[in-house]
């Protein structure tokens, strides 16, 4: 089928929830994806932070082939060997104690919210004082199901589905006073991304994170870290909270966890785990043998190949290159991020849109988030030569769109 045929059919048959790029993908190899015409794209987005080891990694495809011949799915009524082994690996790298496996990020976050409520109802003093408020942050994104949606900040995501789950309050981003004002004994949890993803690649400040941790302890509330985008090595450490020296009570993981297969996890401390009992929570597909075997393989590959160190180095190189562009082009307002989770805040939403579109035309995949931020989430296997190629293209795109240094988005004809 051609792109035209597919897009026509989709427009008739699918719920129109996505605004797709006009590209029909056929395959991926390494850091590149290829369309139906055989055109090659350097993928600096990794399927929105999923394909950490790029495409067609031999050890991943081998594990998929081997395990798919043995056992793809079994219900959670039976044991298979990979959930426990994967939980052992995840608890080792995270510092938490137990895992619950899910199919997606939003399902992991839903689980975290449920556990927080269950923990509060089992542990809240005399049981008379209500303790079910949840604090989330301005710009937060935690997913599209109802609980996750209630903690997702953008009004446009929530409004059409109101009323969402009650009890959520948003705290101003990095505003310690606002945090202190809103925190009291009625709060059962505060949850946030230590580095916000969809919200524009915004790291929370050390002071804000420490205050949230301290207030959670003081009010017997739980600290939940959403590591769905930032976790599993994306920032150069296993988890973004490890840059802050803070251990949350609950951590959610998903995107890159199973090398492109759908898998998420909720990691919890022993203290918290004691509030969950058989029958209180569950899922049909979460933690299947195929996805878990691949996730284990992924962790082994990341450790053996010293990939996190590489993420730090190449991430630093990319940030330096972007900062160099920033010094030449006033329309770049800020470069934010850590490791290979990087946002370039530009002057306007139109410019961000133009950059993403024109980079795609030049064979480089990026995306735009929070209106004015061009986002980089490349595969961890990206090399400096790929960074150089992308930065060259980006500079040409900036030159094509702008009068250098004038800070004005005009085209070459000065319109």
Ligand X SMILES: Cc1ncc(COP(=O)(O)O)c(C=O)c1O
Task: Report the interface residues with ligand X, using CB under 6 A.
Answer: 104-106, 109, 141-143, 193, 197-198, 226, 228-229, 254
CB 411 → ligand X: shortest distance, Å? 33
> CB-based contacts of 358: which residues, under 8 Å, 6+ apart?
397, 400, 401
Closer residue to ligand X, CB minimum distance, 226 or 345: 226
Beta strands in 87-246 (DSSP E): 98-102, 133-137, 168-171, 187-192, 195-196, 202-203, 222-226
In contact, 370 and 362? CB cutoff 8 Å: no
Closer residue to ligand X, CB minimum distance, 148 or 297: 148
CA distance 111 to 147: 9
Q: State the distance between the two ends of the chain, measured CA to CA, in whole angstroms.
A: 39
Closer residue to ligand X, CB minimum distance, 143 or 288: 143
Closer residue to ligand X, CB minimum distance, 142 or 153: 142
Query: CB burial class (10 A; 0-12, 13-18, 19+) of residue 39?
Result: exposed
CB 107 → ligand X: shortest distance, Å? 7
In contact, 204 and 137? CB cutoff 8 Å: yes
Closer residue to ligand X, CB minimum distance, 131 or 142: 142
Phi and psi at 335, nearest 5°, equal -115, 125
Question: Smallest Cα–Cα separation from 226: which of 116, 357, 126, 343?
Answer: 116
CB 181 → ligand X: shortest distance, Å? 25
Phi and psi at 301, nearest 5°, equal -65, -40
The token duo for 62 is 């081998």
3-state secondary structure of 304: helix
Closer residue to ligand X, CB minimum distance, 253 or 387: 253
CB 142 → ligand X: shortest distance, Å? 5
CA distance 400 to 412: 6
Q: Which residue is nearest to ligand X (CB)?
A: 105
> CB-based contacts of 400: which residues, under 8 Å, 6+ apart?
358, 411, 412
CB 106 → ligand X: shortest distance, Å? 3
Closer residue to ligand X, CB minimum distance, 230 or 393: 230
Please count the CA atoms within 13 angstroms of the CA of 322 that sit on its side-chain side: 26
Closer residue to ligand X, CB minimum distance, 106 or 297: 106
The token duo for 183 is 């925190």
3-state secondary structure of 109: helix
CB 102 → ligand X: shortest distance, Å? 9
Please count the CA atoms within 13 angstroms of the CA of 277 that sit on its side-chain side: 4
Closer residue to ligand X, CB minimum distance, 133 or 255: 255
In contact, 237 and 218? CB cutoff 8 Å: no
Closer residue to ligand X, CB minimum distance, 188 or 228: 228
Residues in the chain: 415
CB 322 → ligand X: shortest distance, Å? 21
Pairing of strands 222-226, 187-192: parallel
CB 226 → ligand X: shortest distance, Å? 5
CB 47 → ligand X: shortest distance, Å? 11
CB 105 → ligand X: shortest distance, Å? 2
Closer residue to ligand X, CB minimum distance, 199 or 321: 199
Q: Is omega for the bond preceding 293 within 30 degrees of 0, making it cis? A: no
CB 127 → ligand X: shortest distance, Å? 32
Q: Distance of alpha carbon 199 from its chain centroid, rounded?
A: 10
């Amino acid at each position: 089928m051609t792109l035209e045929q597919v897009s026509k059919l989709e427009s008739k048959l699918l719920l129109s929830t996505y605004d797709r790029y006009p590209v029909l993908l056929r395959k991926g190899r390494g850091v590149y994806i290829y369309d139906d015409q055989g055109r090659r794209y350097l993928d600096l987005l990794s399927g929105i932070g999923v394909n950490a080891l790029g495409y067609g990694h031999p050890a991943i495809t081998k594990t998929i082939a081997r395990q798919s011949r043995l056992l793809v799915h079994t219900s959670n009524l039976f044991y298979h060997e990979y959930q426990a082994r994967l939980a052992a690996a995840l608890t080792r790298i995270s510092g938490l104690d137990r895992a619950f496996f899910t199919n997606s990020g939003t399902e992991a976050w839903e689980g975290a919210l449920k556990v927080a409520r269950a923990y509060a109802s089992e542990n809240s003093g005399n049981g008379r004082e209500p303790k079910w408020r949840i604090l989330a942050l301005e710009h937060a994104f935690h997913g599209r199901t109802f609980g996750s949606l209630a903690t997702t900040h953008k009004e446009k995501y929530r409004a059409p589905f109101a009323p969402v789950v009650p009890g959520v309050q948003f705290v101003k981003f990095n505003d310690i006073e606002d945090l202190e004002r809103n925190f009291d004994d009625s709060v059962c949890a505060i949850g946030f991304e230590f580095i916000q993803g969809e919200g524009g690649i915004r790291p929370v400040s050390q002071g804000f994170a420490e205050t949230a941790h301290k207030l959670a302890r003081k009010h017997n509330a739980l600290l939940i870290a959403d590591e769905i985008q930032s976790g599993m090595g994306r920032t150069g450490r296993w988890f973004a909270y490890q840059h802050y020296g803070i251990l949350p009570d609950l951590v959610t993981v998903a995107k890159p966890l199973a090398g492109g297969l759908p898998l998420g996890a909720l990691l919890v401390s022993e203290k918290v785990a004691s509030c969950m009992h058989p029958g209180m929570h569950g899922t049909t597909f979460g933690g299947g043998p195929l996805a878990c075997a691949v996730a284990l393989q992924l962790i082994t590959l990341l450790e053996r190949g010293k990939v996190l160190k590489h993420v730090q180095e190449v991430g630093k190189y990319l940030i330096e290159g972007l900062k160099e562009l920033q010094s030449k082009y006033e329309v770049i307002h800020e470069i934010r991020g850590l490791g290979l989770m990087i946002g370039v805040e530009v002057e306007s939403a139109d410019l961000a849109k133009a950059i993403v579109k024109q980079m795609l035309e030049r064979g480089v995949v990026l995306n735009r988030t929070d209106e004015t931020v061009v986002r980089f989430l490349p595969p961890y296997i990206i090399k400096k030569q790929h960074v150089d190629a992308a930065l060259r293209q980006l500079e040409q795109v900036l030159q094509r769109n702008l009068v250098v240094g004038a800070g004005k988005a005009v085209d070459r004809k000065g319109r």
